[in-house]
Amino acid sequence: MADKPLITARDLSKIYRRGSEEVRAVDGVSFEAAAGEMVAIIGPSGSGKTTLLNMIGCLDNPTSGSLEVGGRQVFGGRKELSERELTLIRRELFGYVFQKFYLIPTLTVEENILLPGAFYRSPSAKEARDVMKLLGIERRYDHLPGELSGGEMQRVAVARALINNPKVVLADEPTGSLDSRRTEEIKGILRDLTRQGITVVMVTHNLDLARSADRLLEIRDGRIHKA
């Protein structure tokens, strides 16, 4: 029997209202992703990629549609989840990587990595060291973000996304601020995560990175574009 998909999105839509105008940022998107699969979302600017990624990551709620992640009905169930339940789901299931890294400049590499765990399950220094090793930044543990290269900052951001052992890593243009060599490195790192069974969903403008994914969602005007 085939495993149940880790992510099942059905007819996800997000409508923003600007005065009397309606913006269908995401318009009926459905897809599935298995554990350990890499999904790339591509499409022109304003096509709804970030809105879709944020809904998958429970950072934004859909106007309609349903989402199941890791066997949990997140959206579209019989009962709407409370903000507290959503917060717990974010911490238990997801790690987030942003293009601009969002590292705290006054905290060391190690402290930045431990930060998402601090409000949740207080990971140990050893756990931080393990993810730093995984990403090859363990010698930078006591450096401040300002002392790092862009590639190193992105590795710290990925390490931070892993500290709570997520089932899904979400990345919005993870290589958008990196040169081609660093992009190749991050590509390899994301692929390694899938080998550990982590599902990676990323938005990217890098076609080479997108083509390396197991599943490619091309979005236009909020809808999946069929080639």
The closest alpha carbon to 150, from 186, 193, 106, 113, belongs to 186
50 interacts with Mg ion by CB under 5 A: yes
Nearest approach in angstroms of CB 92 to ligand ADP is 25
Q: Between residues 46 and 77, which has the closer beta carbon with respect to ligand ADP?
A: 46
25 interacts with ligand ADP by CB under 6 A: yes
Instruction: Tell me which amino acid residue 78 is.
Output: R
Angle between helices 109-118 and 150-162 (to 10 degrees): 30
Residue 207: exposed, middle, or buried by beta-carbon count in 10 A (0-12, 13-18, 19+)? Answer: exposed
CB 59 within 8 A of CB 71: no
23 interacts with ligand ADP by CB under 6 A: yes
CB 75 within 8 A of CB 68: no
Give, in order, the Cα–Cα distances in Å from 181 to each of 2, 7, 66, 184: 37, 31, 38, 5
Q: Between residues 25 and 217, which has the closer beta carbon with respect to ligand ADP?
A: 25
Q: Between residues 50 and 183, which has the closer beta carbon with respect to ligand ADP?
A: 50
Query: For ligand ADP, which stretch binds (CB under 6 A), given 48-56, 118-126, 129-137, 192-200?
Result: 48-56
Nearest approach in angstroms of CB 15 to Mg ion is 17
DSSP 85-124: HHHHHHHHHEEEEETT----TTS-HHHHHHHHHHTTT---
Q: Between residues 53 and 163, which has the closer beta carbon with respect to Mg ion?
A: 53
Nearest approach in angstroms of CB 62 to ligand ADP is 12
Site for ligand ADP in 49-108 (CB under 6 A): 49-51
Q: Between residues 41 and 109, which has the closer beta carbon with respect to ligand ADP?
A: 41
Residues lying near ligand ADP in the complex (CB under 6 A) are found at 16, 23, 25, 43, 45-51
